[in-house]
Amino acid sequence: MRLPAFWPLPRTWQGWLTTALFAFMYGPILVLTVYSFNDSIRYTSVWQGFSLKWYESLFQDTRIFRALQDTLFVAIVAVAISSVLGTLMAIGLAKYYFPGKGVYRGVSYLPLIIPDISIAVATLVFLASLAIPLSIWTIIAAHMVFCLAYIAVVVSSRLGSLDPNLEEAALDLGATPAQALIQVLLPQLMPAIVAGCLLAFVLSVDDLLISSFTAGGGANPLPLEIFSRIRNGVKPDMNALSVLLILASGMIAALGEYLRYKGSMTDG
């Protein structure tokens, strides 16, 4: 049987399977988005008409904005410090030869594999044993553990695809080692550094587990705030907040990927 020329549904079983998988992954998010516009009095699965009132109530919630401030502060500081250290780490690991380099390299990327819960518990126990009080700075320190590893991995992979003679070429032309780093190596690494930072930023904003173990009374990042509210029943304004978060993270992640792609295109 021939299908008509315009046929919006998949034509093969592979197509159907793909559609089903996408529906499985994104269905809940779609439902969440739809219900964030529901004109209801409290959380209900009954559609009662379109409304922006949950968004309005969200924007009037000062607790949410304080939590957002904490989250952004943690993410920006952790990523800023990690971007410098992670880039230096990647360059150092690529450039110098020393005994045990392979082990060192493996260990420095380990935070990507270690479960968050282990990092969270280990950090908490460590801080407690040194009697360091929990604060927003302890969250930043804990977030740096994975931000650093993440940025170093992205920068390393870019370094690996660069011409190994670039720095030598700059030195050969009379540049000092500092000039070679700043004028030649860093500009070529910049797309990867920015991409790594954006992805680390999203991970930091998203983190609940590590933050919940390392936050003291003073700091209350957004995921913690959402989690504590949902324990007393889901309110539709949390739907609205989730939708905004998904949009923001999606945009940042897409920008990061785009920069990484653009960077890899200039290898020529």
Partner 1 sequence: MSQTVSPSIASPQTQQVLDVELRQVSKYFGGEAAIQDIDLKIREGEFFSILGPSGCGKTTTLRLIAGFEQPSAGMVLIQGRDMSRTPAHRRSVNTVFQSYALFNHMTVKDNIAFGLRVKRMGRSQREQRVADALQLVKMGSFAHRYPQQLSGGQKQRVALARALVNRPAVMLLDEPLGALDLKLRKQMQVELTNLHQQLGITFVMVTHDQEEALSLSNRIAVMKDGDIEQIGTPSEIYDYPQTPFVADFIGETNLLQGEVEFADSQMLRLLTPEGTTVLVNRSEANLPDLKTAVVSVRPENIRLSQEAPLNEGNCYSGYVKHIMYLGTHLHCVVQLQTGERLTVMQPNRSEQSLTPETPVYVSWLPSDCLALAA
Give me the residues that bind partner 1 (CB under 8 A), please: 163-166, 168-177, 179-180, 183-184, 187-188, 266-268
Closest C-alpha among 133, 163, 135 to residue 266: 163
* Number of other CB atoms surrounding residue 39 within 10 Å: 13
Query: Which contiguous run of DSSP H or E holds residue 189?
Result: helix 186-206
Q: Can you tell me whether residue 48 is helix, strand or coil?
A: coil
| Closer Cβ to partner 1, 27 or 164, answer by number | 164
Closest C-alpha among 136, 120, 146 to residue 220: 136
Q: How far is the CB of 83 from partner 1 (least distance, A)?
A: 19
| Closer Cβ to partner 1, 180 or 219, answer by number | 180
Q: How far is the CB of 192 from partner 1 (least distance, A)?
A: 13
| Closer Cβ to partner 1, 56 or 168, answer by number | 168
Q: How far is the CB of 162 from partner 1 (least distance, A)?
A: 9
Closest C-alpha among 24, 46, 25, 26 to residue 35: 46
| Closer Cβ to partner 1, 177 or 218, answer by number | 177
Helix axis angle for 13-35 and 236-265, nearest 10°, is 130
Q: How far is the CB of 265 from partner 1 (least distance, A)?
A: 8
Helix axis angle for 62-95 and 136-161, nearest 10°, is 40
Q: How far is the CB of 190 from partner 1 (least distance, A)?
A: 8
| Closer Cβ to partner 1, 39 or 172, answer by number | 172
